[in-house]
Amino acid sequence: MTVLGAFLSASFALIRYAMAQHRAMTDRFVSFLEASLRRQEEVNARFQAALEDLTENVRENSTVLGRLAERVQG
């Protein structure tokens, strides 16, 4: 009975240890995914700002080119 009790206790301890390791690995993976998502959101925000600046500059250039074309024609 003692041997059986020791075996069951050791088995339970090993299962508990394995589950704790699995949970720690899962937590690290989720943290990695969250950090990756935050970095991607930051990159997207920078791209959005750059595209907005580019759009504004293209509008200004189009306006200037339109005025220039009017002067050349007139």
- pLDDT tens by residue, 20-74: 999 999 999 999 999 999 999 999 999 999 999 999 999 999 999 999 999 898 7
Cα distance between residue 46 and residue 72, in whole Å: 39
pLDDT at 16: 97
pLDDT at 36: 98
Structural domain for 60, as ranges: 39-74
Residue 48 in domain:
yes
Q: Which of 3-7, 8-12, 31-35, 37-41 has the lowest mean pLDDT?
A: 3-7
Residue 7 in domain:
no
pTM: 0.63
Cα distance between residue 52 and residue 49, in whole Å: 5
Residue type, 48: Q
pLDDT at 10: 96
Structural domain tally of the chain? 1
Q: Which long-range contacts (CB under 8 A, 24 or more apart) does 60-63 make?
A: none
Residue 55 in domain:
yes
pLDDT at 31: 98
